[in-house]
């Protein structure tokens, strides 16, 4: 507990001490009176301090165990103040919010009424970066009866704020895919007869020879045909690269331009890391798989496998995947694809759709990926998506070339573009679909490919 002098005490001491010091210097007979007045003010301040030392002993602030927020969206914390002493007054409540949690009120003043034991109010906050933020104490301050002192203390608390990725904008962009309009995720025509084995039956005229079950035919002495049905439940895995290249920043367009810079111009783009875009795409994919009736799984890796969530469905499973992703932070290490592919080959036995969100613009990483992809591509259907590197486009395609530096910059972008095309052709020979898309189109591209695969029964 700390006692902090207030302006009232300083002003009072200044109004008494300075005049009395001047009067004592001019009139020697006033020394005793001046000393008496100064002493009286000091004693009054000490009495005010003593009377205030127990004012915070009966006050407790209760917080929820977990507060969940979406990045960039306004939220609030429900704060309950228990006043066991039933004394009226004002107290200031404060938290040491990190820079990732913004609030218009760094501290809040609560008015306690003597007849009320509890007071509840909302504390507005906003999460600026996804993650988990734990608070272990809060701070209280109240004033003395005469206003000479402010008493401050810190009390323990145990609550956390979880900031999840904001899926509102991405879901808004994919509204047509989630609605039942003939081309969406609900109404889609499945092509083919199906690949999921259902039963055996006797051969009928018109059945294809490739559907004949030859072992059953030999055993029964008559032609037996295999009957298939359309596979309804499939396993979808999103594999997120959380290595050094995921720490790079990218720009995403803001839908509502309400922020301005120092020059008064609207801010059209906001910076974000690549791993945040991958996390958002993974959660959107989980929602799409849930609506389609498929099972969704998750793998995160860097130089080793960080987390593995086996494919399941349901709201509880989605919350589990979200809790794994919102604390994901990339590390400054190079990915180890060999260990990753070995892990997938041993843990995922059933044929599944493996959607990689990684980076193959590094030639060394692309070579390592291509050399070892056969470990899983022979059993699973593999899709690889990455964000398009800035400037990766053919030579002479940019109209804004004004200097030699721009020429060298375009030449470097052309080399990256050429390397990505070579990687695409190489992976195509291994049965892997590889594409690089713009930042704003990442989620749309992922969901569109998933719907196409589902419709064509490629999996």
- Residues 117-166: tens digit of each pLDDT: 788 888 899 988 888 899 988 888 888 878 788 888 888 888 899 998 88
270 neighbors 251 (Cβ within 8 angstroms) = yes
Q: Which residue, among 253, 280, 302, 301, has the nearest Cα to 163 in the 3D structure?
A: 280
- pLDDT for residue 180 is more than 80: no
DSSP string, 244-288: GGGG-EEEEE-SS---B-TTS-B--EEEEEHHHHHHHHHHHHHHH
pLDDT class of 282 with cuts at 50, 70, 90: very high
Dihedrals phi, psi of 375, to nearest 5 degrees: -60, -35
DSSP string, 388-446: PPTT-S-TT--S---SHHHHHHHHHHHHHHHHHHHHHHHHHHTTEEEEEE-GGGHHHHH
- pLDDT for residue 189 is more than 70: no
Residue-level pLDDT at 21: 75
Separation of alpha carbons 409 and 84, rounded Å: 69
Residue-level pLDDT at 438: 85
How many alpha carbons lie under 13 Å from residue 134 in its C-beta half-sphere? Answer: 4
- Residues 305-316: tens digit of each pLDDT: 999 999 998 999
The dotted CATH code for 168-189+230-456 is 3.40.50.410
pLDDT class of 184 with cuts at 50, 70, 90: very low
161 neighbors 430 (Cβ within 8 angstroms) = no
**Which of 40-44, 359-363, 419-423 has the least mean pLDDT?**
40-44
Range 59-164 classified under CATH 2.60.40.10: yes
Separation of alpha carbons 251 and 38, rounded Å: 64
Residue-level pLDDT at 311: 92
First vs last C-alpha separation in the chain: 66
**Which of 26-35, 59-68, 174-183, 371-380 has the least mean pLDDT?**
174-183
Separation of alpha carbons 305 and 309, rounded Å: 11
- Residues 92-108: tens digit of each pLDDT: 888 888 888 998 888 88
Residue-level pLDDT at 92: 86
Give the burial class of 94: count Cβ atoms within 10 A of its Cβ; 0-12 exposed, 13-18 middle, 19 or more buried: middle
How many alpha carbons lie under 13 Å from residue 379 in its C-beta half-sphere? Answer: 14
pLDDT class of 183 with cuts at 50, 70, 90: very low
Structure pTM? Answer: 0.75
- Residues 285-300: tens digit of each pLDDT: 998 898 888 899 999 9
- Going by C-beta distance under 8 Å and a sequence separation of 6 or more, which residues neighbour residue 396? 410
251 vs 359: which has the higher pLDDT: 359
Separation of alpha carbons 233 and 71, rounded Å: 32
155 neighbors 61 (Cβ within 8 angstroms) = yes
Separation of alpha carbons 439 and 31, rounded Å: 79
């Amino acid at each position: 507990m700390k006692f902090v002098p207030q302006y009232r005490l300083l002003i009072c001491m200044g109004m008494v001490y300075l005049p009395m010091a001047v009067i004592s210097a001019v009139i020697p007979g006033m020394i005793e009176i001046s000393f008496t007045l100064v002493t009286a003010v000091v004693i009054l301040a000490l009495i005010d301090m003593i009377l205030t030392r127990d004012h915070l002993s009966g006050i407790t602030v209760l917080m929820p165990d977990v507060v969940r927020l979406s990045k960039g969206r306004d939220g609030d914390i429900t704060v309950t103040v228990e006043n066991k002493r039933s004394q009226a007054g004002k107290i200031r409540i404060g938290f040491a919010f990190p820079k990732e949690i913004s609030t218009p009120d760094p501290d809040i003043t609560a008015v306690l009424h003597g007849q009320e034991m509890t007071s509840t109010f909302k504390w507005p906050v906003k999460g600026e970066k996804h993650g988990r933020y734990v608070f272990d104490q809060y701070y209280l301050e109240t004033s003395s009866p005469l206003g000479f002192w402010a008493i401050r203390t810190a009390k323990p608390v145990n609550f956390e704020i979880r900031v999840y990725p904001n899926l509102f904008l991405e879901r808004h962009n994919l509204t047509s895919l989630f609605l039942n309009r003939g081309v969406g995720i609900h109404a889609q025509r499945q092509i083919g007869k199906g690949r999921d084995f259902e039963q055996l039956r006797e051969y009928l005229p018109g059945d294809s020879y490739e559907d004949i079950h030859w072992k059953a035919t030999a055993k029964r002495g008559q032609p037996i045909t295999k009957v298939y049905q359309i596979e309804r439940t499939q396993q979808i895995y999103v594999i997120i690269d959380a290595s050094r290249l995921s720490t790079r920043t990218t720009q995403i367009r803001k839908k509502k331009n309400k922020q301005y810079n120092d020059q008064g111009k609207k801010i059209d783009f906001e910076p974000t890391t690549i791993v945040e875009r991958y996390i958002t795409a993974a959660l959107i994919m989980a929602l799409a798989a849930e609506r389609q009736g498929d099972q969704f799984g998750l793998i995160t890796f860097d130089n080793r496998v960080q987390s593995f969530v086996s494919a399941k469905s349901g709201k509880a499973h989605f919350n589990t995947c979200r809790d794994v992703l919102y604390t994901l932070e990339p590390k400054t290490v190079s990915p180890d694809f060999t260990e990753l592919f070995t892990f997938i080959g041993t843990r995922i036995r059933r044929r599944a759709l493996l959607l990689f969100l990684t980076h193959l613009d590094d030639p060394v990483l692309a070579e390592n990926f291509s050399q070892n992809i056969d470990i899983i591509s022979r059993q699973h259907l593999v899709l690889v998506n990455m964000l398009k590197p800035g400037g990766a486009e053919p030579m002479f395609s940019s109209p804004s070339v004004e200097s030699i530096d721009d020429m060298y910059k375009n030449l470097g972008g052309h080399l990256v573009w050429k390397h990505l095309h070579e990687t695409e052709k190489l992976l195509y020979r291994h049965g892997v679909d590889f594409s690089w898309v713009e930042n704003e189109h990442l989620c749309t591209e992922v969901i569109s490919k998933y719907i196409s695969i589902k419709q064509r029964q490629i999996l």
